[in-house]
Structure 1
Amino acid sequence: MDQKRDGKESLVDNLFQHKESIFTEEVSNFDLPGRFKTPDAVACRAFPLTLSGKARDWLRNLPPRSIDNLDTLGRKFLAQFVSGRARRKPRGYLLSVRQVPNESLKDYLWRFNQEKLEIESEPDDFIYGAIFQGLKEDGLLMADLVLKPPKDLHTFMIKADRYINQEETLRALLGAPKQLEEPSFEKLTKKKNPEAT
């Protein structure tokens, strides 16, 4: 992003210079062929592919034929969305996101991830700690995590995915609605009584 256009840095390039690159050093330092230059038209056409949600809706609502180059697109985009950057929640906010009693593990992790989008990027160990702190204390996953703590966030997510699959399978087999409480160990080990009504 440190290319210059006609001797001037673009507004978009300038905005991101103060941030550390999201790419590894290998990706950031990859040498492009000598005369490689992305034409503005190609960059403008590729830009919508990077958007989703509100940003994509905003782009669709721009007046027809109002974008003539990447700098114009960048200015319009920043004017619309840069003010939202200042309203980020503090990192400690994630520590307040808790799994509620009737919330499935899947729904809790989805809600947690939505809230995580509202803060600046945080290290994986902080994210794992916040998720762990918010889990139901009497949940089966919590018991497993206490006995066998995962080595990192990725390992935790694999373990959580297994519990989500188990939770959904048990709810389907037991005929229980999605939002019922997590089954206890006793409920899981009892067989369904076909004579009960």
Structure 2
Amino acid sequence: MTIVTARPVRVTDHDAVDARWEVTVLKQPGGFAEVTRSADAVVVCVGDHEGSGGEDDRHAPDGHGPCCTTVRCGGGGRVIVTALAAPPVLLVGSTRTVLVPSTPSEAGTAVVEPGERLLVLSAAAFDTLPPALVSVLRELPHRVLNTSPVSVLETVFSEIPIGCGALISPVHLDTPSSRTEFS
């Protein structure tokens, strides 16, 4: 698993968390991102700090603020997405592009097939909707699927100075995962 933090860019390798998922996170001022492991899943939380002093106000039942998208990545490519007051996740595949959850304020489930990716944006990043993000969305699925996760996130955030985002994909078990180091 790879976690990328931007401004400055730094990669920390967390392969021990779960070899079934690759998670690439770009985090900027005002955003928070956590990648943890529960007993049966990798849990990715992407959101925005709610306090004016850079501290996030964690008062939702799951310990995260209400403006947070939580993705539980389990076995077999199955994901459960909770996005109460946050943007849904965009599931991008070569033959489909869908929002998860499809109904606001409800949990959504999906199976992410090999070669597909989930694009997660914090509310602050999504609400900015700069031309770079519009360009990436217009070029779906090619741009999101055929570009490195770091490049996709760097392109999306090239005009977004706040918030964070993540790309999540299942790892092919028949190919060794690659490790990328940035400084």
Aligning the two structures, in what range does the TM-score lie when normalised by the shorter sequence?
A: under 0.3
Structure whose CA Rg is larger: 1
Higher relative contact order (CA 8 A, sep 6+): 2
- Structure having the higher helix fraction is 1
Q: TM-score, length-normalised on structure 2?
A: 0.25
Question: TM-score, normalised to structure 1's length?
Answer: 0.24
